[in-house]
Structure 1
């Protein structure tokens, strides 16, 4: 199948597809209307010349390239294109003698399809070779990052910086050129974000190495903390470069069915494990290697990554991976302790090192197996998602044809794959039981439809029983909507989704109440209990068959009113927590800086530092927890929530590094390198926290903040000050966001507009490919299904892009009204495409 993930490939394939589509139309006119095909000698000669030129350039490239994979993959593509071109020439010659020749028409279609497919293969092989060039540069940087572990003098640091700089510049330039070439906006964003992170971390890395070198050479204190800072930055940069390598190899993007984040997290963990394994094995093989060396750090990183994978698994598999990682961690401690005592070459130490080495291999195998299973399960879930709409349409249509039944059979096949992969016997049994029920209902419904009884009450009951249940919502607004649907019609069987949403809201309310003062806690808990009581009443009435009666309607109305009050109290509680925590985010880190720079003769210097370090860590933890709660309780969209979660994770990772940098400064008073390093780490932490708090405060949850603040009646000057301070912070953030609003709107609007012509071109190419397969007997069923699937998905992506363009255009046309009486509006300018 053709691929067009770069603008170059697309620009070459598009005119080829255009010409082939004309040939297909002429072929169909001859087949259906009996028209003679005109003389094609001239256009086919032009195609032959273009193909010959492409093959010649390809062969010259193969002769000079050192890429063994390219030398292997190019010849089959050459043969494919040349064979197709020969068929096309033969077809033109035969049609010149007999414009009605059936064999010539077959040659015409087969040759056209072969040229399009072969040209795509050639271009893809070229493109893959270019990607491998970039990956080689990225891997070179990855390897050179590990050299940071042996930099022990300022001369080494100068040499290291001089060597690293050009490589980083080259990688950044290649990534920038590559992202501009890509047609998938999502891939471009991922590459740019990862590359920007690497650029931001580069000065942090140099600062970390510098402070390590200065403390080590001056026999100063804090070498261990400096080592942690340096290793942390190296790991972060390595992870981002590995992510760049992964994204570079992607060639497709489905708007609706992208692989789950768990699968991608497992792949990243596997890449990290693979990159650290050789270093870990070298440390284990050397009985004289010291504890704390990079090799031991590599082992601990491998175990950490394996633990992350284990947390993503379930049941026995999770226990197995997590338990193995824990056991190997204990074994690592034993080996390290023996080597610290100088007994690394003893038989016991050698045996334990061998056991640890073998255990790492076993653990890696388990992690790889878990990743394969999760990827297979994700594939099955995506296949189900692609067919579910067709199945639902068939269930809703009383006169639906057999294709809907085929969709359901395919769904059941994918469900069986998921059941086979499940480690939980109960879960497997539930899936198989549901499959049996669905298969039985589908068979009966098919019989009724074939008998012309698809619109009878019995058939409608079968269709409703076969309908997919709604998945429980995660965030506040989603739960409110699901609860509202159930309250509007409690007699309708929604598989318990509405009541589950209500219970989730109550649980969230109680969790928020636990953090409130006693005076406010009782009010929120009382509303939670009232909602629970009314829900139980309504559920009981529905179970008795009185869900549509006057009593049920009265209870439902009372429940709706109480639920609104609960939502208001939850938002009020969350607003108060945000105002308490976010009103001052940087004072603890500033106090930590003051403690770290205290004069050596200051009283209780170290004790004060430890207290302020603990306060800073506690404050950072509260910031992250509050941001996560605000994201969960609020109505923020998915991208905003993910941004908050990423910023929280980054801030949590940086917090201990800031403390380590501060401790280095404390132990080395007056050291300029230590001061500069601490400032670098501190500023990076502040930047992350500002992003985290800014996204949280400006999420959809805080759109209702004005009303919540008005409802708060400050009882003293302290509360009034906090409330006013929060409003000032919000005003600053809103002003900052709106200053960038014009640029952001333009950027997003251009991106969605750009996707329409891009996907339209791709749809045209895929339509041509599919057209060359119609009625052909020499096409495999798998190839035909793949072409159809790609065509359908591309059409869906095009429709989604059109919807997004309409939405963004509507957003750009909104008039902003102000209390002062002024009105701001967007004025249409000349469109970008004219």
Structure 2
């Protein structure tokens, strides 16, 4: 055992400095939680440093001392755990500071509805601008520090949204005050726009606060795929195995601890293998899992159960896709789901009861078929039919609803900007507004169908659903802004307000379309689009 005096002395010196800084932080901090939690972590580090010093002294006298080695291990562990606790305590305090800045912005947004003069609006802008700048700066810095990409991406996305919404909100407040002061038409629509934008900004800030307070991907509802999670755990264990064995060898500790580590590794490896047998989350992976059972209906119970689970999952996904369909396509998918479920249940019952005896004994042994065989063949065909039907339905929805996303907005904009005195000006506006609302509903429903079809890709599905909701929510706000513009054709503020919401809506629709394009097969899309144009 080498002399540990110098390294232990260096650790003790570092601990002393750390404890000093920690106590200074406690004295200067206004964070009650930090003042409560940090002393315990500091005490743990100090105690660990003392154990290391004692172990060093004891090992110098007796290099083979068991109690000394125990103190050495406990001290080393205490240093690591105590330092981690200190860092976590400080990090959580920093998060609370950022959350506090975000809540200041929320407080200002809460009074947006009661501002009804330009003087009040100017004061509101003076108050919220520095608070918003501080919060944005802190959130951006935090996002840059995060090591988990989904959390950082969410923070950046929400922050970008807040930055884009802020000037639009101010403009909506300005048009509300303008109409209130001048006595023009569109007061109700202006108030609705203002309230919507203030609430949407608040929602984005609440989402920022939620993500700031997360400590793991699982908390965020991240991918909970068993294989992915277990493989990540497996890699972590493998990465630490060599160092663990070196540590055990160096200290010559009991072999049972080494055995337990090997046992843990074996358990995780077995878990990974078991999870892989269950199949993945894509439609194709589920089909492969189902086929393992359908090829051998009388297989072991595990294969049968996993096959049934895969088929049930395929049926559930088909039903979710059907929820967003209409007419013949919806009926076809639901009918296939029903047939697949019926055949799966029938086959499972036969296998469980062992009643699948040969029904055609006159056939030669090589051609003899059982009832299970016939049902499994029919079920295999129906599963592939269902897969093709759902994929075709998803592509059809994307092609039909996103082949020309610009036209409804362009026609609505033309109706809004029609000069006063144009024959049928208001009725034409209402017709185009209804068409825009109908397109928005179709686009959102199509995005829901696509999201159901890519359930294995949670991030893409979540983005589709989020942006589809934005399209649905923005549509009535854009129509309201268009009505204000229609009633106030000479107002530059009304024009600016309408253009702001129009740009927001256009961006949201394009994001939905681009996400749908990512989710469908490009060759199928081109083929279907070609048929639609020819038709």
* TM-score normalised by L of structure 1: 0.51
Matches within 5 A, 1:121-200: 121-200=85-164
1:231 aligns with 2:42: no
How is 1:334-483 mapped onto 2 (pairs within 5 angstroms)? 476-477=283-284, 480-481=287-288, 483=290
Structure 1 residues 125 and 604: CA distance shift in structure 2, 3 A? same
Mapped pair 1:545 → 2:364: no
Is 2:169–2:197's contact at 8 Å kept on the other side of the alignment?
yes
Could you tell me how far apart the structure 2 residues matched to 1:585 and 1:122 are? Answer: 53
Q: CA deviation at 1:163?
A: 3.0
Return the offset for 1:620. 0.8
Counterpart in the other structure of 2:248: none
| Partner residue, 1:490 | 297
Instruction: Determine if contact 1:635/1:700 at 8 Å carries over to the other structure.
Output: no
114 and 546 in structure 1: CA distance in 2 versus 1, 3 angstrom threshold: same
Shift of 1:681: 0.8
Distance 1:510 1:540, change over 3 A: farther
1:75 is aligned to 2:53 = no
The 8 Å contact of residues 420 and 489 in structure 2, kept in 1 or not, is answered as: yes
Instruction: Give the whole-Å Cα distance in 2 for the aligned partners of 1:679 and 1:76.
Output: 56
1:66 to 30, 33, 46: 30
Q: Is the 8 A contact 2:190 2:480 kept in 1?
A: yes
Q: Check conservation: 1:644, 1:692, Cα contact below 8 A.
A: yes
> Structure 1 707/476 Cα, relative in aligned 2: closer, same or farther at 3 Å?
farther
The residue that corresponds to 2:423 in the other structure is 603
**In 2 relative to 1, CA 65–535 (structure 1 residues): closer, same or farther, beyond 3 Å?**
closer
Matched ranges for 1:542-691 at <5 A: 544-546=355-357, 549-550=368-369, 553=373, 556-557=376-377, 560-561=380-381, 563-565=383-385, 567-633=387-453, 637-691=457-511
Aligned partners of 1:175, 1:512: CA distance in 2, in Å? 37
Aligned to 2:169: 205
* In 1: Cα distance, 2:378 partner to 2:42 partner: 74
Taking the aligned partners of 1:631 and 1:701, their CA distance within structure 2 comes to 14
Deviation of 1:673 (Å): 0.9
Equivalent residue of 1:45, what SS? helix
Q: For 1:741-764, what per-residue CA distance to the aligned partner results, in whole angstroms no more than 9, with x for missing partners?
A: xxxxxxxxxxxxxxxxxxxxxxxx
Aligned position for 1:17? none
Q: Could you say which residue in structure 1 is the equivalent of 2:327? A: 515
Q: In 2, distance between residues paired with 1:99 and 1:481?
A: 60
1:699 equivalenced with 2:519 (yes/no): yes
Which aligned pairs between 1:80-119 and structure 2 lie closer than 5 A? 80-119=44-83
Distance 2:47 2:286 in 1: 60
TM-score, L = length of structure 2: 0.76
Question: Which runs of 5 or more structure 2 residues have no equivalent in the other structure?
Answer: 235-259, 265-273, 359-366
Q: Which runs of 5+ in 1 are unaligned?
A: 1-36, 262-377, 391-402, 408-466, 723-834
**Structure 1 residues 199 and 95: alpha-carbon distance in aligned structure 2, compared to 1, 3 A threshold:** same
Question: Quick check: 1:654–1:685 contact (8 Å CA) kept in 2?
Answer: yes
User: Which aligned runs of 4 or more in structure 1 are off by greater than 6 angstroms?
Assistant: 470-475, 508-513, 520-541
Shift, 1:655, TM fit: 1.2
Moved more, 94-103 or 128-137: 94-103
Task: Write the distance in 2 (CA, Å) between the matches of 1:653 and 1:508.
Answer: 22
Q: Contact 2:186 / 2:487 at 8 angstroms: preserved in 1?
A: yes
Q: Contact 2:320–2:452 (CA<8 Å) still a contact in 1?
A: no
C-alpha displacement at 1:537, in angstroms?
A: 8.5
2:403 touches 2:529 (CA, 8 Å); kept in 1? no
| Shift of residue 558, structure 1, vs aligned partner | 5.6
8 Å contact 1:472–1:501 — kept in the other structure? no
Q: CA deviation at 1:205?
A: 1.3
The 2-side partners of 1:538 and 1:230 are apart by 59
CA-atom RMSD, angstroms?
4.1
Compute the displacement of 1:473 (Å). Answer: 9.3
**Aligned counterparts of 1:198 and 1:513: Cα–Cα separation in 2:** 34
TM-fit CA distance, 1:482: 5.1
- 1:197 offset after TM fit, Å? 1.8
Alignment of 1:28-43 (within 5 A): 37-43=1-7
Structure 1 residues 617 and 127, CA gap change in structure 2 (3 angstroms): same
Separation of aligned partners in 2, 1:694 and 1:501: 27
Q: Whole-Å Cα distance in 1 between the matches of residues 379 and 173 of structure 2? A: 61
CA–CA distance in 1 between the matches of 2:170 and 2:325? 46
2:246 maps to none
Distance 1:589 1:61, change over 3 A: same
Aligned length: 480
1:118: how far off?
Answer: 2.3
Residues 670, 491 of structure 1: CA spacing in aligned structure 2 closer, same or farther, 3 A cutoff?
farther
Could you tell me whether the CA contact under 8 Å between 2:102 and 2:135 is conserved in 1? yes
- How far 1:88 moved relative to its partner? 2.5
CA contact (8 A) 2:319 2:333 kept: no
Report SS of the residue matched to 1:698: helix
After superposition, give the CA deviation of every residue in 1:149-207 in whole Å (9 maximum; x if it has no partner): 23222233233223322322222221222222223333322222221221121122122
In 1, Cα distance between equivalents of 2:335 and 2:46: 79
The change in CA–CA distance for 1:594 and 1:76 in structure 2 (over 3 A counts) is same
Change (3 A) 1:544 1:56: same
